[in-house]
Amino acid sequence: MRNCKAIALIAFLSLAIMANAQKKKVAVITFQADKSIDLSEVDASADFIAKNTKLSDNPDFNLKEPLKKFHEAFFNSYVEEFDFELIPEEKVLELPEYKNFEAKHGDYKNIGGQEAFETIDGYKVIRNYGSRLEVDNLKPIAEALGADAVMFVRLNYRFNKTGIGKLGYFSIQAIVSLDLYSKDNKSIFQFNELAGSKKKAAMVGGLPVMSPKKIQPMCESATEELIEDMNKKIKRLAKKANKKM
């Protein structure tokens, strides 16, 4: 009887070790928020685009805190639902190859000279648009880290308009994009989720008032709602991602 129990225990431990050894390793390569708010649902005129740029240039408009809250939720709650092993942030951010990496489609400054993106400290602004050239360029970093795949985490914000004509209200929606690619530039999964702010404001002349005092609380509210929404959906998302990994 004891021998049977011992054999069963050894078999269980062997399976656990094998399962752990087979886990894919993933490096989060950027964690950023775009400070330019999507205007497409409100007004795409040149004048309003200029006001939007001016807002993102304003040092009082700060997305650092909402980004930080999402970052904490991501690493403290969400990642544990995935089957892959997440390489520790400090290992990624302290890697010389990462520190020296210059993105082809990375950061840029707005008209006023302010940064167009917020990042979690230590991360670089890296965008995976178009031909995914950046994913190819990141391969040496992935190999240095022993990563099988790289993940891009990005927050964007956009206006949401309700009501008719100039008598409507507006709110802000927060959108998270989680994009995962193999180190050989094969798409594994792309996921987008959005949530709207509880806070709303009346439009003036059919347009939002573009001031940090009005917009900042809505971005924070939308991010909080997004975190709550992700808390409910992360198991389903992880299940899909795990199948593809």
Residue with tokens 């594994």: 188
Query: Is 181:190 a contact under the CB 8 Å cutoff?
Result: no
Residue 37: closest CA among 52, 54, 59: 52
Name the percent of the chain lying above pLDDT 70: 82
**Mean pLDDT of the region 109-131:** 76
Rg (CA), the chain: 21
pTM confidence score? 0.84
Query: Is 171:160 a contact under the CB 8 Å cutoff?
Result: yes
Reported as a single tens digit per residue, the pLDDT across 203-231 is 777 778 888 999 999 999 999 999 999 99
Counting other chains too, the contacts that 106-112 makes at CB distance below 8 Å and 24 or more residues apart are 110/35, 110/36, 110/53, 110/56, 110/57, 111/50, 111/53, 111/54, 111/57, 112/53, 112/54, 112/57
Under the banding of pLDDT at 50, 70 and 90, the label for residue 131 is: low
Tell me what the pLDDT averaged over the chain comes to: 84
Please, is 205 exposed, middle or buried when counting C-beta atoms within 10 Å of its C-beta (0-12, 13-18, 19+)?
Answer: exposed
Cα(76)–Cα(57) distance, rounded to whole angstroms? 31
| Res 13 pLDDT > 70 | no
